[in-house]
């Protein structure tokens, strides 16, 4: 079994994923990192040079390669679950755990970071609200478990996920 972390940019997927993998003795994989490695460029550059649809196709290509993966915590890009095919394939290899955070919390977390193409706009706070509002129903619909990270640090999120896994 694998554990798939989904959720908006800045929801903590990488930090929580690394620690969860360490504590559970699992391997860690980040789909954005796979894309950056195979394309030999950054996500920002990919968006700028090839456009978002090209990136979305790469996401699906990565998910198609995960079929035989086992014992991985897999962190996905914030838009990964917007494609039904990605959701279907991911659910075949493990439960989808949503790291949820409200727009204000997300903004606080990502405000000093510059590597996210979708947030390179004049008013990132408004953009976060807009995109998160659109995606929230999808995230919540596809998630097998939701962790509200607003008031939790990385330790707290990891603990919550481990308790959920034990209770299943």
What are the DSSP E strand ranges found in the chain?
A: 3-6, 27-30, 72-75, 96-100, 145-148
112 or 166, CB closer to ligand S3P? 112
* Strand duo 145-148 + 96-100: pairing: parallel
* Strand duo 27-30 + 145-148: pairing: unpaired
Closest C-alpha to 131, from 41, 7, 6: 7
Tokens of 24: 């559970």
23 or 36, CB closer to ligand S3P? 36
**Interface residues for ligand S3P in 63-102 (CB under 6 A)?**
77-79
78 or 94, CB closer to ligand S3P? 78
Using the rule CB under 6 A, is 43 a contact of ligand S3P? yes
**Interface residues for ligand S3P in 102-141 (CB under 6 A)?**
116-118
- Residues making contact with ligand S3P (CB under 6 A): 9, 13, 32, 43, 77-79, 116-118
């Amino acid at each position: 079994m694998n554990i798939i972390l989904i959720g908006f940019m800045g929801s903590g997927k990488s930090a929580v994923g690394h620690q969860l993998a360490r504590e559970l003795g699992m391997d860690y994989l980040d789909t954005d990192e796979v894309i950056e490695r195979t394309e030999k460029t950054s996500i920002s550059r990919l968006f700028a040079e090839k456009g978002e649809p090209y990136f979305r196709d790469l996401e699906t290509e990565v998910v198609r390669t995960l079929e035989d993966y086992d014992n991985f915590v897999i962190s996905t890009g914030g838009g990964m679950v917007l494609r039904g095919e990605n959701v279907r394939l991911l659910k075949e290899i493990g439960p989808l755990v949503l790291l949820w955070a409200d727009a204000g919390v997300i903004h606080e977390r990502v405000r000093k970071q510059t590597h996210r193409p979708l947030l390179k706009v004049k008013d990132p706070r408004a953009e976060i609200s807009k995109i998160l509002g659109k995606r929230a129903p999808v995230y919540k619909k596809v998630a097998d478990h939701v962790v509200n990270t607003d008031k939790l640090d990385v330790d707290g999120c990891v603990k919550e996920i481990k308790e959920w896994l034990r209770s299943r």
